[in-house]
Amino acid sequence: MGQCTKSLRGVCTPSTIKELLETKLAEAKPAVTAEESADKANAAEEVKSVECTKFTNPNQYIPEKKDGITQINTDHLLHEFDFSDAADHIGEEISLRACVHKIRQMSGFAFLILRTGRYLIQSLYVPEQCKDSITGLREGNFVWVRGKVTKNEKAVGGVELQLSALEVIANCNEEYPLKVSNKKLGCALDINLDNRSVALRNIYERAIFKIQEGVVGGFREFLIGQGFTEIHTPKIVAQGAEGGANIFHLEYFDKPAFLNQSPQFYKQTAVAFFDRVFEIAPVYRAEKHATSRHINEYIGLDFEMGYIDSMYDVMAMETACLRYVMEYLKKHYAFELELLEADVPVIRDIPSVTLLEAKEILGNKGSKNKLDLEPEDEVAICEYAKKTFDSDFIFVTHFPSSKPPFYAMNSREDPRLAYKFDLLFRGLEITSGGQRIHDYQEQLDKMHAQGLDPEDFKYYLEAHKYGLPPHGGLGIGLERLVMKLLGLSNVRQASMFPRDINRLLP
């Protein structure tokens, strides 16, 4: 111990030092009001009342050393709870780590609903059977529990855990600003998004993104099975793929650059050496829309395939892909589908109409826009598809060739039209695709026709110059697909942390 000051000589013990320091600190502090003192006393009393056991793990993985160097092996991988684990251990004790989702205090016992990364597990706390107290435990605490697995048909998963031990791993320091334990949050969307880190702890909210995971997983698995290669392309680019002003500008060191609107150029280039490619990645659109169907950053499910005979080959591939995705969801995500009360479509054949045919079907009910479908047209033509063909999907093809994109091949039957299609799902466009121009001179001619300078796209045109097979592809908006699949009212609900014209946080 260092030297004592004069006032402490002879009494240099821990207790006397503590007493003196507390006195000096009290003298240095401003006066505390009676109300503040009462608040502090209450807070101290609340802290004292917390009797939960702090978590310690005697079996914690500690890597061994070899020749003085730490060696990491794979013999102690942490395991995530699954209901199959519990079902296989009825009558036995298991342990797991989870978050306290809800506490239901009863007379002489309590139900603790525990939340893992996917499930809710009902556990029963009886003081006489559990060595640890739950006094002071609150919703949001992260815990380690041990207990006996018993059957309970009324509980989620048909099992219940009778607790014999409970220890707190980490605390929730404040009460949630939202009712996380409700089945649905029941708050306005903006409040949900402003409190996103809490909102996503609600089982309904997070289930949306398990379904999103399933769509991506099914999309990837199907395409790999069809001989597609997954690629990863730049998102900082020198020019936009879709043209127009809807592009985010940024400074790339001393050069102007943009956030990519689409992986289109790279997909087409890759067809020359991979034949079939796909990408799952962010897409950026600087569109100043404030609607329930638009966000400015979304996940694109894109693919491109070579050696096609027509755009119908691409449409057939998408039909098969979506059918596979729906079956994949039913097989692997039944828990979330039931929770979300999702109406999963049965996909057989998907009807297809030209834009002109769609306008004729709509008649006077359609919009005055003859060159495209307005939102109300999309709703009406989907109602027609459902009523006439019992299909939740419908393709619309042959849009005007004068409209972007400049890489869409013009129809050989009528050059005023392009081999371009949209796929509508329950009243909303979720896909744009078509057959692309593979001939170098034809691509130059269309660029000139749309007022574009080929010099601005010289790297893209290199692929055409050195040869491309006939090819086509598409892009699906993941959030829109999930939105319509789950019957959500706003595409922002299908984006974990959405970006729109008003939102850059969180």
Phi-psi region of 467 (alpha: psi -120 to 50; beta: other; left: phi over 0): left
Instruction: Write the CA distances from 383 to 5, 113, 192, 316, 356, integer angstroms.
Output: 88, 42, 31, 22, 17
Q: How far is CA 492 from the centre of its chain?
A: 11
CA–CA distance, 37 with 299 (Å, rounded to integer): 53
Tokens representing residue 105 in the block: 């205090």
Tokens representing residue 246 in the block: 């809807």
Closest CA to 491 of 442, 443, 429, 432: 429
CA–CA distance, 314 with 421 (Å, rounded to integer): 10
CA–CA distance, 299 with 284 (Å, rounded to integer): 9
Sign of the torsion angle spanned by Cα atoms 282, 287, 288, 290: negative
Q: Please identify every residue annotated as catalytic.
A: 285, 287, 293-294, 429, 432, 480
Tokens representing residue 30 in the block: 């401003």
Instruction: Write the CA distances from 348 to 117, 323, 467, integer angstroms.
Output: 34, 8, 36
Burial of 74 from C-beta contacts in 10 A (0-12 / 13-18 / 19+): exposed
The structure tokens 């994949």 sit at: 328
Burial of 50 from C-beta contacts in 10 A (0-12 / 13-18 / 19+): middle
245 phi/psi in degrees, rounded to 5: -95, 0
